[in-house]
């Protein structure tokens, strides 16, 4: 059983919703990434989505674009991101880490080379925003025990849903709105309607919801029907506006509040 599966099955018996914060690796600087990851875990994160900085983050809004630019200024590349995960693993063996990013840095490194190094570093899953299931990359990652996370959107057709489900593992990521990360026009009713359909198509793979969740209240509302909530831009903004000294506390406080709201509805 993969670390991601274990996490979801534990949460299921506890009847709790997974909280998955996103941060960009290397933001605000690479020395703070691992401490921020630990702070997220102690605030109640069940899994971490770690962004791989890219020069052209086409699916991201301004907050994550700026985070990516900050990380790139420090020279953070894919190898460095993997080293940060390995460092995190020296004191955390249980919290799954999913890399989220764009195809080119991964395809430039080479899929096999990446898969092997990612596995060795302790990565659990990979979400490449601009890599559609038609490219069949999950097949390459599977032998290394890496889960392939795919996005499903409000515009995904039923036939495509089948194709995605046939390759997805770990969980399925439902993009709760049409737009880039950090937007805020989430439609709760729409999400509530879609999730059972995705779950059915995914043969009961857990369904996480993200893009557009910016506060504890919305997270809790989504948590009523989703298996996981993913929160990115709002946390990245917290990092951006915090001083170096305050960043760990601020992130921890903000995420802990979301945790509380999620758990309050058990």
Partner 1 sequence: MPRDDVPDNRGYFGAYGGSFVAETLVSALEDLKNEYQRARADEQFMAEFRHELKHYVGRPSPVFHARRWSDALGGAQIYLKREDLNHTGAHKINSAMGQALLARRMGKKKVIAETGAGQHGVATATVAARFGMECVIYMGADDIARQSPNVFRMKLLGARVQAVTSGSRTLKDALNEAMRDWVTNVNSTFYILGTAAGPHPYPMLVRDFQAVIGEECLWQMPELAGRQPDVVIACVGGGSNAIGIFHSYLAHPSVRLIGVEAGGKGLGTGQHAAPLASGASAGVLHGFRSYLMQDADGQVLETHSVSAGLDYPGVGPEHAWLKDSHRAEYVAINDDEALQAFHDLCRFEGIIPALESSHALAQAAKMAPQMDKDAILLVNLSGRGDKDINTVAQLAGISLS
Which CB sits closer to partner 1, 8 or 211?
211
Q: Report in angstroms the alpha-carbon separations of 175 from 74, 106, 233, 259, 265.
A: 30, 22, 14, 21, 23
208-247 positions binding partner 1, by CB under 8 A: none
125-164 footprint of partner 1 as x/- string (CB under 8 A): ----xxxx-xx--------------xxxxxxxx--x----
Hey, is 133 helix, strand or coil?
A: helix
Q: Does 117 bind partner 1 (CB under 8 A)?
A: no
Which CB sits closer to partner 1, 2 or 184?
184
Task: Please compute, for residue 166, the number of CA atoms within 13 A of its CA located in the half-sphere on the CB side.
Answer: 11
Q: How far is the CB of 198 from partner 1 (least distance, A)?
A: 12
Q: Which of 5, 119, 144, 179 binds partner 1 (CB under 8 A)?
A: 179
Residue 242 phi/psi, 5° resolution? -95, 150
Please tell me the distance from the alpha carbon of residue 8 to that of residue 23, in angstroms, as a whole number.
21
* Listed residue (217, 261, 256) closest to 235, CA to CA: 256
Q: Which of 20, 99, 180, 251 binds partner 1 (CB under 8 A)?
A: 180
Q: Report in angstroms the alpha-carbon separations of 233 from 60, 169, 176, 182.
A: 9, 25, 14, 5
What residues are annotated to the active site? 49, 60
Q: Which of 21, 61, 170, 206 binds partner 1 (CB under 8 A)?
A: 61
Q: Which of 10, 12, 108, 241 binds partner 1 (CB under 8 A)?
A: 108
Inter-residue contact 253 to 44 (CB < 8 Å): no
Q: How far is the CB of 15 from partner 1 (least distance, A)?
A: 29
Binding site for partner 1 (CB under 8 A): 54-59, 61-62, 65, 69, 72, 77-79, 102-109, 129-132, 134-135, 150-157, 160, 175, 178-180, 183
């Amino acid at each position: 059983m993969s670390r991601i599966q274990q996490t979801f099955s534990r949460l299921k018996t506890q009847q709790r919703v997974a909280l998955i914060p996103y941060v960009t690796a290397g933001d605000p600087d690479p020395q703070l990434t691992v401490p921020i990851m630990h702070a997220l875990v102690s605030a109640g994160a069940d899994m971490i989505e770690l962004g791989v900085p890219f020069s052209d983050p086409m699916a991201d809004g301004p907050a994550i674009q700026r985070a990516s630019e900050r990380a790139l200024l420090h020279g953070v590349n894919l190898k460095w991101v993997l080293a940060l995960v390995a460092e995190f693993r020296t004191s955390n063996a249980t919290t799954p880490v999913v890399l989220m990013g764009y195809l080119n840095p991964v395809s430039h490194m080479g899929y096999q080379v990446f898969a092997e190094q990612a596995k060795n570093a302790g990565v659990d899953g990979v979400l490449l925003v601009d890599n559609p299931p038609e490219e069949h990359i999950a097949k390459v990652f599977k032998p290394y025990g890496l889960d392939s996370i795919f996005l499903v959107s409000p515009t995904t057709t039923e036939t495509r849903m089948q194709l995605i489900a046939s390759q997805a593992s770990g969980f399925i990521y439902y993009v709760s709105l049409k737009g880039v990360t950090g937007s805020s026009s989430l439609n709760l009713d729409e999400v509530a309607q879609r999730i059972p359909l995705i779950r059915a198509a995914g043969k009961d793979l857990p369904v996480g919801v993200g893009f557009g969740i910016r506060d504890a209240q919305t997270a809790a509302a989504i948590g009523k029907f989703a298996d996981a909530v993913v929160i990115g831009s709002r946390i990245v903004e917290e990092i951006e506006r915090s001083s170096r000294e305050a960043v760990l506390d601020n992130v921890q406080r903000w995420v802990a509040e979301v945790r509380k709201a999620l758990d309050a509805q058990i």
